[in-house]
């Protein structure tokens, strides 16, 4: 059936809605505000194309990082159509509002882009490189070790290009933002229960230690190119200064999102879409606080979920 993927997503959404409780109100308000803001952005010619670009890039990011491609293309009927419908519904609240403005044509322009994205099956071959990477990164930070080994080519490419062009406007920040998406994909797989319980930590301390580790690595990686960019590109100084805190909030959200739905040795394919939406919002200056807010909300959800496994 051509609606299998949408059915799976609807079931995942229902479970998430049931688990949110009162927090659901926050998401409804955010969605309504986002839709309203997109409407006003479409009234401005330049901002209209900016929104179209953000929506396109967000879907491209999902297509690149999603780990269910092999299942979808091999097991589902009409996989390209199913993925297109998923992206269309995902972007609809932020794209259909253009139809009520002078830039109504932004919607029919976006649709062919979304149609083409499912045909991009690009995926770098995952080869285990740097077998002694644990000499630089502690074995306890296994997500980073495994993630860098699997995503080494895009990881190092985006980073080196960002450093090389640190003095250029916007480009290095965009590359580092995409690197953040790659880093967050490290948290799409759940470790076995015995690894989770190593150290015998309470749920709160376990999560805070994970967050501290990611803050440390983000600061180490991003400080140099961001500082150089702040020196040479003064007109975007405020955005540059806020960039690292926003990326930290995004990765913290990815960590908390993972453990809010943790089940031993399972993949978190549904989380990929949720994170990509939040990552998309972080690019828009009006929604910079959202990753931090959701990181806090999901910290408590993750803590409650981990209590099941850490306090048996």
pTM of the model: 0.71
**pLDDT more than 70, % of the chain:** 83
What are the tens digits of pLDDT across the range 172-209? Answer: 988 898 899 889 888 888 888 888 888 778 889 999 99
Name which residue leads in pLDDT, 3 or 72: 72
Can you say whether residue 264 is alpha, beta or left, with left for phi > 0 and alpha for psi between -120 and 50 degrees? beta
Name which residue leads in pLDDT, 124 or 284: 284
Average pLDDT for the chain: 82
Counting other chains too, the contacts that 108-117 makes at CB distance below 8 Å and 24 or more residues apart are: 109/52, 110/52, 110/55, 110/56, 113/52, 113/56, 113/59, 114/56, 114/59, 114/84, 114/87, 114/88, 115/84, 117/56, 117/59, 117/60, 117/63, 117/83, 117/84, 117/87
C-alpha torsion 44→49→50→56, nearest 10: 150
Least confident span in 11-15, 52-56, 290-294, 301-305: 11-15
Residue 78 has pLDDT above 80, yes or no: yes
What are the tens digits of pLDDT across the range 7-42? Answer: 777 776 777 666 666 666 766 777 787 788 888 889
């Amino acid at each position: 059936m051509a609606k299998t993927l949408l059915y799976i997503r609807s079931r995942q959404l229902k479970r998430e809605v049931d688990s949110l409780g009162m927090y659901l109100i926050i998401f409804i308000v955010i969605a309504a505000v986002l839709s309203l803001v997109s409407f006003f952005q479409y009234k401005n010619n330049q901002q209209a194309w900016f929104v179209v670009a953000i929506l396109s890039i967000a879907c491209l990011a999902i297509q690149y990082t999603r780990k269910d491609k092999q299942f979808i293309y091999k097991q589902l009927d009409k996989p390209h159509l199913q993925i297109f419908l998923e992206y269309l519904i995902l972007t609809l609240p932020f794209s259909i509002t253009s139809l009520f403005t002078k830039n109504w044509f932004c919607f029919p322009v976006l649709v062919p882009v979304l149609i083409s994205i499912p045909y991009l099956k690009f995926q770098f071959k995952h080869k285990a490189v740097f077998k002694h990477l644990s000499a630089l990164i502690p074995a306890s930070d296994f997500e980073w070790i495994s993630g860098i080994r699997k995503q080494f080519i895009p990881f190092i490419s985006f980073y080196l290009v960002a450093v090389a062009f640190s003095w250029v406007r916007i480009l290095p920040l965009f590359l580092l933002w995409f690197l953040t998406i790659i880093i967050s994909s490290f948290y799409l797989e759940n470790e076995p229960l015995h690894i989770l319980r190593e150290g015998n930590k309470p749920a709160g301390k376990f999560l805070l230690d994970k967050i501290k580790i990611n803050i440390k690595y983000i600061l180490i990686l991003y400080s140099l190119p961001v500082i150089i960019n702040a020196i040479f590109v003064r007109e975007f100084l405020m955005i540059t200064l806020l960039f690292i805190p926003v990326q930290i909030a995004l990765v913290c959200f990815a960590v908390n999102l993972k453990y809010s739905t943790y089940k031993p040795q399972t993949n978190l394919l549904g989380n990929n879409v949720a994170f990509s939406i939040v990552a998309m919002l972080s690019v828009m200056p009006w929604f910079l606080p959202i990753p931090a807010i959701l990181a806090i909300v999901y910290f408590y959800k993750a803590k409650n979920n981990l209590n099941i496994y850490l306090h048996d």
